[in-house]
Structure 1
Amino acid sequence: MFREQRLGEISEEILDYLSSRRADQRILHADLLTDRAHLLMLKERGLVAEELSNKILSALDEIETGLPLGEGEDIHEAIEAAVIARVGPEGGRMHTGRSRNDEVATCIRLALREELLGLMAEELSFIRTLLCLAGEHKESIIPGFTHTQHAQPTTLAHHLLAHADAAFRDLARLKDAYKRVNQSPLGAAAFASTGFQIDRARTCELLGFEGLVENSMDAVSSRDFILEVLAALSIAMVNLSRLAEELILWSSSEFGYLELDNLYASTSSIMPQKKNPDTAELARARSGSVIGSLMAALSICKALPMSYNRDLQEVTPHLWRSLDWTRSTVRILAGCLSTLHFHLERLEESSALGFSTATELADSLVRITGMPFRTAHSIVGRAAASGGRPELSQMDSISLEIAGFAVSEAGFSEEDLRRALDPRGNVALRANTGGPAPEEVGRMIAERWASIAAEESLLGERRKRVDGAAEALLSQGRPGVKEHEG
């Protein structure tokens, strides 16, 4: 039975402490792909005979289809032990010219690559949900907030589009991280390469990587690609948490802006009238868990000398948990959005509360009377302090005191006042780039749909490359299959 050599007897407790078998289940398929690619390269380089290579490949096939693995402190030992049990001692030649150090680094990258492709597809689905909702609500007037206080009227589409744009940036960070994840460390061996004449470019090609992590020391000891992904996940979860917080607040009786579908809420165990936004609350909480994983991984990696250190074993569980939390949160919040009900009348009614049209009233005074904005700001601020909807006579009185003339004498009419105080009119005026005016929001939505199409095309190309490499690798080395010539 193959096992890493120890200096003396070792207890079961220590073996369990050292073991990564539970976490390694995430990389079983990736490990088998890595074994196949390395073995095929060894055969092509004349380092393993073809007959033996075929026997080892058959054993790997059996493991893939459920052959029980034996003992071993990690999945790599267990697979090799299972191969040796099937093939005999010669099965150990599959490990020629490599170390567990470069093997595990390769497996993590392969498994992570797959997770990122899945997450990016889910992000695109989430963004599509937001864009569909935004397209339905370009004319739906809602209150906009700063400091959680009524600020200015906007539209529901404008608000949803803000979340969509944040999600687009989350997607961009994942795409950028993917490029650095999809690099091959295989062939670096323990850290100082190997004396066997291997072909790193060939295994890179077989596994569908886009390039090499060239320096063999860097290849086995770096986990900054994990840190980068965890950072991207943390930012994405912070953005998702902001949306979750709004779902929680807006579904409360104090706001009354929306109602979650029963599938995404629960009742109280004691208060039958309650409808609790449990899924949104857990989404908000899990953002903290992902941030915690990032901090833990950074702390583990922060002072490790070159090259490989066993500490790195503790980093990957944080990665897998964070990916699970992020992917499920993206899916759950997409479901929340697609099934919720907005109380549009309540939203529009609320849009005028707190004198939210005050900014447009000040702007109108500037445009019509020519007074400086700061003067207009002071006039409207005085009117707001008195409470209620201002009348033109009140505006004249305040203006005489502050500016030295009545606004009505400078051309500001009752109709101008009415228009300035109308939330819908406020929104319509704000047609500058990125503003909430319906036609401008419509333009932004159309552009985002075009971006979605481009992103889906790129993701499809990456998926095709990865799946094509895996399919080609699984077929290589079988009787009747033309071998690589290189």
Structure 2
Amino acid sequence: MTDTTRFPDPVYARTVLAPLFDHAQAHHAEDFHAIDQAHLLMLDETGILNPADATRIAQALIRVHQAQSGTHKVYDGSVEDYFFHIEASLRADLGADLAGRLHTARSRNDIDHTLFRMRLRYRLDGLLDQTHTLLNALLDAASRHRDTVIVAYTHGQPAQPTTYGHYLCAVIEVVLGDMARLRAARAQVDCSPMGAAAITTSGFAVDRHAVARDLGFAGVQLNSYGAIATVDYITATYSALQLLLLHLGRPVQDMQFWTAFEVGQLYVPNALVQVSSIMPQKRNPVPIEHLRHLASQGAGLAQMMLGIVHNTPFTDMNDSEGETQAAGYRAFDVAGRVLDLMTALVQAVRIDSARVANTMDRACITITELADTLVRQEGLSFRMAHEIAADVARAVVAVRGSLGTDGYVPFQAAFARVTGRDSALGQADFAKAVSAGGFIALRDRPGGPAPAALRSALDEYSMRAQQLLQAQEVDKHRLQSAREGRIARFDALARRR
């Protein structure tokens, strides 16, 4: 059977090849040029290419890159993909024989996965920077609100008093864990596949470590099969990204709940409030709603990346390549919006202390400490003390009173009923036991809301944040140094006579 068709089929070109070409042109052109530089330097320094050829190729690469920069090439089907477009441009400049020598000891396989890792590394660095900005905002707010009392809720009901700083420290711990996971993902990404070629490395004496250093990688992906087949650098990245957004969505839910009129614990300033088109009284803190759905969108996009590579063969395949990488970058874009908006909210919102005090009174949320006090000072079992405290809370709630002013008489009656004797706890001692300040001050264990414990925790979190920042700066410095060194040596190669 004679096949008279010619590549590419128009539908295939429109639906697959053109989008892939545009994606590579938009996201990978600069990294592609960096790979060409690093690979050529290695071919020259190992003697795989003769010096004169290496210099001529370097000069042509500069011309081709300058011609491509700032332009948008419309895919016309004359080549298969962006790689062959660059190779065709080089061939038009140098001729087929000399231009083709640049591709010695490499493949589109190791080039593509190197491109993907370089772009993910850049994306992760940007996301880590934004996450660190949010972390700093949380640390600052927690420090400013060490003594700002709030109502802590469990199961949607008022539970105990704590401080806003204590609550934010819980969020800080989670963000620190998420940053550690992002850092771990970055370490998996930061391994160069170059030199793996198609599958099994090369018969040429390539220096994989030199190329990795010139591209700013921490090292090489050692196994050459894994370098072109593994997707763990993708799954590690998007798992960490998904968890970050999933975890941030939970305090966002609290913020939404706390701003409800019936709760009113959190005040959102006018700059972050929208109005109703029909109801003049409405203050709608819709940025929190946007945070919620954007976090869900980003987490969903990250989950999509895991689903795409699920049950794919352990080999080089398109499932993990251009289209998939482009889809994943959307998750980073959404995550960046979440981090920026949440940072702004954390810096702007404040606690409505009057509403907090009212809720504490109405809900008797300090009653746990009355039970604890009875155990310590009256020698009761906690279960017996709990029964007395429960009777007091029911009595105060029934009259819609305040625990501090209306609870002592019911307390005396409940104590006598349960124990058969009078309590030695006077009214002043009772009032202290059920005060929010007394409740918080007594909880001075590690991780508690008392001032000393909270200061110690904040010191610990600040130290961990600084360590993460220093590690990030080391990575950035390595990238910058590698780029500067590569460009300087490449320019010297191009000028060599």
Question: TM-score when scaled to structure 2?
Answer: 0.89
Alpha carbons of structure 1 residues 81 and 347: separation in structure 2 relative to 1, 3 Å: farther
> 2:400 maps to which residue?
none
Of residues 144-153 and 387-396 in structure 1, the stretch that sits farther from structure 2 once superposed is: 387-396
1:312–1:447: structure 2 CA closer, same or farther, 3 Å change rule?
closer
Cα distance, 1:150–1:208 mapped onto 2, change above 3 Å: same
The 5 Å alignment of 1:452-463 reads 452-463=465-476
User: Can you list the C-alpha shifts for 1:189-211, whole angstroms capped at 9, x where unaligned?
Assistant: 11222233322111111111111
Q: Does 1:366 align with 2:375?
A: yes
**Mean CA deviation greater in 38-47 or 201-210:** 38-47
Q: What CA deviation, in whole Å up to 9, does each residue of 1:212-241 have, x standing for no partner?
A: 111111101111111111111111111221
CA spacing shift, 1:427–1:223, aligned 2, 3 Å:
same
Given that residues 193 and 224 in structure 2 are in contact (C-alpha distance below 8 angstroms), is that contact kept between their aligned partners in structure 1?
Answer: yes
Identity %: 29
Cα distance 1:140–1:478, how it changes in 2: closer, same or farther (>3 A)? same
Q: How far did residue 482 of structure 1 move?
A: 10
Question: What's 2:442 paired with?
Answer: 429
Comparing 219-228 with 299-308, which one deviates more in the overlay?
299-308
Contact 1:142–1:350 at 8 Å: present in 2 too?
no
Candidates 169, 188, 191, aligned match of 1:161: 169
How much does 1:434 deviate?
Answer: 0.6
- Whether 1:397 and 2:413 are equivalent positions in the alignment is yes
Deviations 1:388-438 (A, max 9, x none): 336444333333433x32341xx2222221112111111111111110012
Equivalent AA in structure 1 for residue 360 of structure 2: S
Q: Which residue of 2 aligns with 1:21?
A: 21
Q: What SS class does the counterpart of residue 262 from structure 2 fall into?
A: coil
Give the structure 2 partner of residue 379 of structure 1: 388
Would you say the 8 A contact 2:239–2:303 is kept in 1?
Answer: no
Q: CA deviation at 1:12?
A: 2.0
Distance 2:315 2:448 in 1: 52
Instruction: Tell me the distance in 2 between the aligned counterparts of 1:75 and 1:269.
Output: 50
CA 1:413/1:41 → structure 2, altered by over 3 Å: closer, same or farther?
same
Partner of 1:357: 366
Asked whether 1:333 is paired with 2:342, we answer yes
- Answer yes or no: is 1:83 the counterpart of 2:90: yes
> Which residue of 1 is the match for residue 421 of structure 2?
406
Distance 1:311 1:341, change over 3 A: same
Change (3 A) 1:372 1:102: same
Counterpart of 1:396, as a letter, is Q
Of 157, 160, 174, the residue aligned with 1:149 is 157
Partners of 1:482 and 1:454 in 2: CA distance = 42
Which residue is 2:8 aligned to?
Answer: 10
- 1:172 aligns to 2:180 (yes or no): yes
Give 1:480 deviation, angstroms: 7.6
Contact kept in structure 2, 1:30 and 1:110, CA below 8 Å? yes
Q: Distance in 2 between matches of 1:255 and 1:397?
A: 32
In the aligned structure 1, how far is the partner of 2:119 from the partner of 2:71? 21
Asked whether the equivalents of residues 70 and 82 of structure 1 are also in contact (C-alpha less than 8 Å), the reply is no
Counterpart position of 1:343: 352
Q: Distance in 2 between matches of 1:76 and 1:281?
A: 43
The code of the aligned residue for 1:21 comes to F
Which secondary structure state, in structure 1, belongs to the residue aligned with residue 161 of structure 2?
strand
How many angstroms apart in 2 are the aligned matches of 1:191 and 1:352? 70
- Are residues 1:440 and 2:448 paired? no
Helix, strand or coil for the counterpart of 2:192?
A: coil
Q: Which moved more, 1:162-171 or 1:278-287?
A: 278-287
Cα distance in structure 2, aligned partners of 1:64 and 1:22: 13
Asked if 1 retains the 8 angstrom alpha-carbon contact of 2:57 and 2:94, the reply is: no
Q: Match of 1:246?
A: 254
C-alpha contact (below 8 Å) 2:273/2:284 kept by paired residues:
yes
Within-5 A mapping of 1:24-423: 24=24, 25-48=26-49, 49-63=53-67, 65-69=69-73, 71=75, 72-89=79-96, 90-313=98-321, 314-388=323-397, 389=403, 391-402=407-418, 404-408=419-423, 411-423=424-436
Per the TM alignment, residue 60 of structure 1 is displaced from its structure 2 partner at its CA by 4.8
For the 8 Å contact 1:150–1:353, the answer to whether it is kept is no
Deviation at 1:84, TM superposition (A): 2.8
2-structure distance, mates of 1:63, 1:338: 46
Could you list the structure 1 runs, at least 4 aligned residues long, displaced by more than 6 angstroms after superposition.
Answer: 480-483
Q: Which of 119-128 and 314-323 deviates more? A: 314-323
Q: Residue 263 of structure 1: CA displacement?
A: 4.2
**Counterparts of 2:295 and 2:94, CA distance in 1:** 47
Aligned mates of 1:413, 1:195 — CA distance in 2: 90
Deviates more, 1:41-50 or 1:413-422: 41-50
Alpha carbons of 1:481 and 1:34: their partners in 2 closer, same or farther (altered >3 Å)?
Answer: closer
Q: For residues 371 and 7 of structure 1, do their structure 2 counterparts lie closer, same or farther at Cα, with a shift above 3 Å needed? A: farther
Q: For residues 305 and 312 of structure 1, do their structure 2 counterparts lie closer, same or farther at Cα, with a shift above 3 Å needed? A: same
Deviation at 1:382, TM superposition (A): 2.6
- Shift of the alpha carbon at 1:186? 0.9
Amino acid at match of 1:283: L
What is the alpha-carbon distance in structure 2 between the residues aligned to residue 357 and residue 225 of structure 1?
49
Residue type matched to 1:405 in 2?
G
| Distance 1:399-1:341 versus aligned 2 partners, 3 A rule | closer
CA distance in 1, matches of 2:113, 2:196: 10
Q: Distance in 1 between the 2:23 and 2:290 partners?
A: 24
Partner Cα separation in structure 2 for residue 220 and residue 261 of structure 1: 51
Going from structure 1 to structure 2, the CA distance change for 1:63 and 1:458 (only over 3 Å counts) comes to farther
User: What's the C-alpha RMSD, in Å, of the aligned pairs?
Assistant: 2.4
- The residue type paired with residue 34 of structure 2 is L
SS in 1 for 2:482: helix
Q: Distance in 2 between matches of 1:141 and 1:392?
A: 23
How far, CA to CA, are the matches of 1:287 and 1:91 in structure 2?
47
Residue 130 of structure 2 contacts residue 340 of structure 2 at CA under 8 Å; is this kept in 1?
Answer: yes
| Structure 1 pair 392–479 and aligned structure 2 pair: CA distance change class (3 A) | closer
Offset, 1:478:
1.9
Once structures 1 and 2 are overlaid, which stretch shifts more, 267-276 or 455-464?
267-276
Provide the rounded CA distance (Å) in 2 between the counterparts of 1:478 and 1:255.
65
8 Å Cα contact 2:158/2:363 also seen in 1: yes
TM (norm. structure 1) is: 0.91
SS in structure 1 of the partner of residue 490 of structure 2: coil
User: Are the equivalent residues in 2 in contact too, given 1:188–1:219 (CA < 8 A)?
Assistant: yes
Residue 83 (structure 1) shift:
2.8
The corresponding residue for 1:3 is none
